[in-house]
Amino acid sequence: MTQIVRTVAQMREHVRAWKAAGQRVALVPTMGALHEGHLTLIRLAQQNADRVIATVFVNPKQFAPHEDFDAYPRGEAIDAEKLASVGCDLMFAPNGAEMYAPGFATAITVSGVSEPLEGAARPQFFGGVATVVAKLFIQSQADVAVFGEKDYQQLQVVKRMTRDLDIPIEIIGAPTARAEDGLALSSRNAYLSAEERAAAVALPTAMKTAAAAVAAGGRIDEAEQTATAALKAAGFGQVDYVEVREANDLSRLGPGPIGQTPSGPIMGRILVAAWLGKTRLIDNMAVA
């Protein structure tokens, strides 16, 4: 059974006992509405630590006023059952006041890697992510944290913040968990109608085609344009971005072929955000 704690003091009591016994502690931050993708993160954490804490907190600081904070799916009891099913040791489920005491006035900004893509579409987002993740790292005093590559830009922001602030925690990126048809598992998939869910497979298909074209020496701008057209043809509405970026700092690549460095090909990543009905889907894939 996964034990639930709601205060930092309670979580730290467990962590102190584990570390006194010489055990390594892993952290898996989530916003709940857990699915198989989250459980793969727990399993990876278990491979890299003796004890695993999953955090469940819908962070208001990463939502803009017009976004779906109140509508974001929640189900703590179901989340706890899923964590118990994979043997997660502890679930940290604080309320808003525990995370952000009255008068809370601190924010963390990670420049550069946070600015394009999601940072341009949702300017408040990564500041909220960086602030809450830094708090969770400090609160838990974990040795390792696991994040999914599904939110690839978020992973790069967290890595940069951790390096810049000398936070003593190892960051592990987990490959994106996908359904059999290739769609990335996401809490937001629950918003899709049956018809939209069937159309959504066009997203990973378009990414895969574009990534292969670029890896074969094709022009980046042409691959991006072809992928955008494929999404539109499949029924997607607004396409926020389809871009090939450098894999680590997310600097812009193209418009021509991906290019070389003295040590070999530039490592690229194709990142996509597009709307299917009222649901905004994001995904990414290595260009290899």
Active site residue 38: yes
Integer-rounded Cα Rg, in Å, for the chain is: 19
How many DSSP H helices and E strands does the chain contain?
10, 11
Q: Which of 145, 121, 143 is nearest to 132 (CA)?
A: 145
Q: Which of 232, 253, 245, 239 is nearest to 284 (CA)?
A: 245
59's tokens? 């962070």
Q: Which of 14, 35, 38, 66 is catalytic?
A: 38
d(CA 69, CA 96): 13
**How far apart, in Å, are the Cα atoms of 108 and each of 104, 141, 146, 152?**
13, 18, 20, 19
d(CA 215, CA 264): 13
**How far apart, in Å, are the Cα atoms of 5 and each of 29, 97, 180?**
14, 15, 35
| Whether 227 contacts 242, CB under 8 Å | yes
Residue with tokens 């400090």: 138
Catalytic residue list: 38
